[in-house]
């Protein structure tokens, strides 16, 4: 599901199996975050040429606005999901997250909470295995 889209709505184009699996991994990550008490504000947030997978608030003990990068792998033949986030990817995420924070609102005008910014990584593997790295992206 894309940000602002109703569940079950069609996207208007064909999704590849990899894209559908990535969407499912992001949905599992968002459900996990909600389940531990976080507020998920948006998914698939476009900032310039970058896309932020999840923008959420971690209630604390020190509340933070968190940009969450979700990575998935169907198999371990080519490594772990978290190994796919290289220095360049981290730099692009940080640049986009800071630009979003500086803008102070989402594209639709919804304001962002005025909280410290943090970057996390959630790795998802088959069978629902999920690893959450705080400050990991």
- Please give the pLDDT value at position 106: 85
> What does the alpha-carbon distance between residue 27 and residue 20 come to, in Å, rounded to a whole number?
10
| Per-residue pLDDT tens digits for 6-49 | 444 445 567 787 777 778 899 999 999 999 999 999 999 999 88
Place of tokens 């109703």: 6
Write out the CATH class of domain 17-133.
alpha beta
pLDDT attached to residue 137: 53
pLDDT 10s digits, 48-78: 889 999 999 999 889 999 999 999 876 677 7
Name 31's Cβ contacts closer than 8 Å, sequence gap at least 6.
Answer: none
pTM of the model: 0.83
């Amino acid at each position: 599901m894309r940000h602002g889209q109703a569940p079950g709505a069609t996207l208007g184009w064909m999704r590849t199996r990899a894209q559908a699996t990535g969407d499912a991994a992001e949905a599992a990550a968002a459900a996990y975050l909600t389940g531990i008490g976080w507020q998920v504000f948006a998914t698939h947030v476009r900032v310039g040429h970058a896309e932020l997978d999840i923008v959420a608030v971690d209630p604390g003990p020190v509340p933070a606005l968190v940009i969450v990068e979700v990575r998935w792998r169907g198999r371990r033949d080519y490594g772990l999901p978290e190994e796919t986030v290289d220095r360049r990817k981290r730099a692009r995420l940080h640049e986009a997250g800071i630009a979003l924070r500086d803008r102070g609102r989402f594209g639709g005008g919804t304001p962002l909470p005025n909280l410290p910014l943090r970057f996390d990584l959630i790795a998802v593997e088959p069978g629902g295995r999920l690893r959450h790295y705080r400050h990991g992206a």
